[in-house]
């Protein structure tokens, strides 16, 4: 939703640290690979390769430039390279924040294609255009319940006031007929797939606890937006 960028950006910014520079982190190198280009660090979650893309010239991305990325810089980059890339203005409240933060954290293409897979779309191209937006609003929730993992199935059932047995049967399906319930299912389905993605990442053993904690906070914020779109 158009009015939700500031909320989503604030959420993401609060989960990202300030300047750090580790030679063992590919995101700190201007070409995105250890030993490739210059090791200049990251700031506010903006990696060196992203800053190269933003400025258009690797030679312009120095440690000093990275260290001075301001909150305004963060917001401009986040809006241009992430929010617009996922068509955040057109996404429903809650879905927008969930997708934006995951895109910022794990990549736009991964987040967008994951959404399309959850919706069972025929074309998985990473472009959240008219067909994907239409599917978000009109594809039956029963189409994407497959993507729910056990813990989010049970959380959904608790929310709906049905027995949390982890099985999506007739009673649960009957309870997800409203649009608000559909979008709640979609949030939990996306969260389930985001969790699966985190668990597949090479660094999960070291960083997984933090990633899953961020996911849980992201889901809570998304549900809050979904149920109270005027939340600030």
Domain residue spans of the chain: 1-84, 91-232
pLDDT digit string (tens) for 94-130?
Answer: 999 999 999 999 999 999 999 999 999 999 999 999 9
Q: What is the mean pLDDT of residues 10-20?
A: 96
pTM of the model: 0.93
pLDDT digit string (tens) for 56-94?
Answer: 999 999 999 999 999 999 999 999 999 999 999 999 999
Q: What is the band of 139 on the pLDDT scale with cuts at 50, 70, 90?
A: very high
CA–CA gap between residue 195 and residue 154 (Å, rounded): 15
**Residue 1: predicted pLDDT:** 87
Q: What is the dihedral of CA 220, 226, 231, 232, to 10 degrees?
A: 60
Q: Please give the backbone phi and psi of residue 42, each rounded to the nearest 5 degrees, phi first.
A: -130, 160
pLDDT digit string (tens) for 166-208?
Answer: 999 999 999 998 888 999 999 999 999 999 999 999 899 999 9
**Residue 230: predicted pLDDT:** 53
């Amino acid at each position: 939703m158009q009015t939700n960028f500031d909320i989503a950006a604030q959420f993401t910014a609060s989960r990202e640290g300030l300047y750090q520079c580790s030679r063992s982190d590919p995101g700190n190198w201007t070409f995105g690979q250890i030993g490739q280009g210059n090791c200049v660090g990251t700031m506010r979650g903006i990696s060196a390769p992203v800053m190269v893309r933003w400025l258009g010239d690797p030679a312009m991305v120095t440690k000093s430039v990275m260290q001075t990325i301001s909150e305004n810089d963060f917001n401009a980059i986040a809006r241009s390279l992430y929010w617009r890339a996922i068509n955040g203005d057109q996404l429903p409240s809650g879905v927008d924040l969930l997708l934006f933060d995951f895109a910022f954290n794990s990549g736009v293409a991964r987040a967008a294609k994951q959404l399309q897979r959850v919706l069972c779309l025929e074309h998985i191209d990473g472009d959240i255009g008219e067909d994907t937006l239409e599917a978000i609003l009109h594809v039956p929730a029963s189409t994407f319940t497959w993507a729910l993992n056990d813990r989010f199935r049970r959380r959904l059932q608790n929310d709906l006031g049905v027995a949390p047995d982890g099985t999506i049967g007739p009673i649960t399906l009957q309870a997800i007929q409203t649009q608000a319930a559909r979008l709640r299912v979609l949030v939990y389905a996306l969260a389930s797939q985001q969790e699966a993605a985190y668990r597949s990442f090479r660094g999960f053993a070291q960083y997984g606890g933090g990633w899953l904690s961020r996911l849980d906070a992201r889901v809570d914020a998304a549900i809050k937006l979904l149920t109270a779109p005027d939340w600030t």
